[in-house]
Structure 1
Amino acid sequence: MLKLSLKQGQYINIGDNIRVVYVGGSGGHGRLMIDAPKEIPIVRSNIEENPERRRETYYPEEKISAEAQKKIQRILWEERHKGEAEN
């Protein structure tokens, strides 16, 4: 999880098509504007007190098969050693 501090008017971009703008706040409240495509669901929620349940609210990356991991490792190894072979 990334924690940021923003001043009024500052924003963060998430990917190429989502922008979150901090528009101000007072006390323990902040106001955000979120600019995102309509097909992306944005849900307002309270902080989950149960840490186990909180993990379920994120979308973890799917597991990669052992075979795919080996292929990726091989590609990375070849890329790292490509320069050595050319010299």
Structure 2
Amino acid sequence: MLKISLKQGQYVNIGDNIRVVYVGGTGNHGRLMIDAPKEVKIARSTVEQNPERRKDTYYPEPAISKEAQDEIKKILWNERMKAETKKDAERMSH
């Protein structure tokens, strides 16, 4: 277990894709911001031992299908190509 002290605005990275930022606090209460992928389950500890019964437990959304991911990639690629074509046309006209 790691125990650290942080000042407001300082953060801890966990692995390559999770960041915990200390945003301040008073007395015995501290506020944290946690930036993590949706598939990472995050639960606050409380007296309740069953996190599924907690309203403040984060449950990730189901992953989108491979087909939907491919469609999104196509749309983004097409938009990028349109923007590059527009830039090229503007350069040629000047």
Q: TM-score range by the shorter chain?
A: 0.5 to 0.7
Which blocks of at least 5 consecutive residues in structure 2 are unaligned? 48-94
Q: Higher Cα Rg: structure 1 or 2?
A: 2
Deviations 1:21-40 (A, max 9, x none): 00000000000000000000
Query: Which residue of the partner structure matches residue 15 of structure 1?
Result: 15
Query: Which residue of the partner structure matches residue 33 of structure 1?
Result: 33
Once the two structures are aligned, what percentage of the paired residues are identical? 81
Aligned length, in residue pairs: 48
- Match of 2:12, SS? strand
> What's the CA shift for 1:2?
0.5
Moved over 2 A (4+): none
Output the CA distance in 2 between the equivalents of 1:3 and 1:10: 14
Which blocks of at least 5 consecutive residues in structure 1 are unaligned? 48-87
- Match of 1:33, SS? strand
Amino acid at match of 1:14: I
> What's the CA shift for 1:46?
2.8
